[in-house]
Amino acid sequence: MKFDYIKSKIIFLHPGEAIFSKKPIIVSTVLGSCVSITMYNARTKMAGISHCQLPKCPHRATDCIKHCVDPYKYVDCTIEKMLEKFKSNKIAPEEIEIKIFGGGDVLTTIEKQIPTQTVGQKNLIAADEMFKKHRLKVAAKDVGGKTGRKLFFVADSGEIYLNRLKNYEEN
């Protein structure tokens, strides 16, 4: 039986959450400065999507995998936890298709006054550091800029449908 996308229920992913599935589901989320990381393995149809809010876990020095109470809130912990989940399903990192989205500078009115990196930029830097640490290749990305994004992740194929949200500040 073929999966019917039109009749399927869409699961909404909130900030600080992740969803893993081997079943045909669609996951939606809305991103501003947050980032969403998707991982997919074609051999097993294992899929995962996260919605990370901040770049670095405060428990990083003490092993955030074991001690972090909100692992999917932080980019660094999220990548570690997602890789751990795939490894527990006997999927090697080189078998995972990775995509990243978000990290927009949507809080420009506040962040324009501060000449440092924005939360979105920090999230993207943290993700890039973790990808390099684990020698992971990113298959696709749509990051940065000044607009938010709405994503639909089709778990059984790893496909992403993306809509860039209108930035009303520019009007």
22 within a domain of the structure (yes/no):
yes
What kind and span of H or E run contains 168? none
171 within a domain of the structure (yes/no):
no
Q: Work out the pLDDT band at 69, boundaries 50, 70, 90.
A: confident
**CATH classification at residue 152:** 3.30.1330.200
169 within a domain of the structure (yes/no):
no
- Look up the domain containing 156 and give its range: 12-163
CA distance 165 to 61: 37
Q: What percent of the chain has pLDDT over 70?
A: 84
pLDDT digits (tens, 9 = 90+) for 26-54: 999 999 999 999 999 999 999 999 999 99
Three-class secondary structure of residue 100 per DSSP: strand
120 within a domain of the structure (yes/no):
yes
pLDDT digits (tens, 9 = 90+) for 98-115: 999 999 988 655 545 556
148 within a domain of the structure (yes/no):
yes
Task: Look up the pTM and report it.
Answer: 0.88
62 within a domain of the structure (yes/no):
yes
Q: Residue 72: which of 131, 19, 125 has the closest Cα?
A: 19
Q: Does the pLDDT at position 73 exceed 50?
A: yes
140 within a domain of the structure (yes/no):
yes
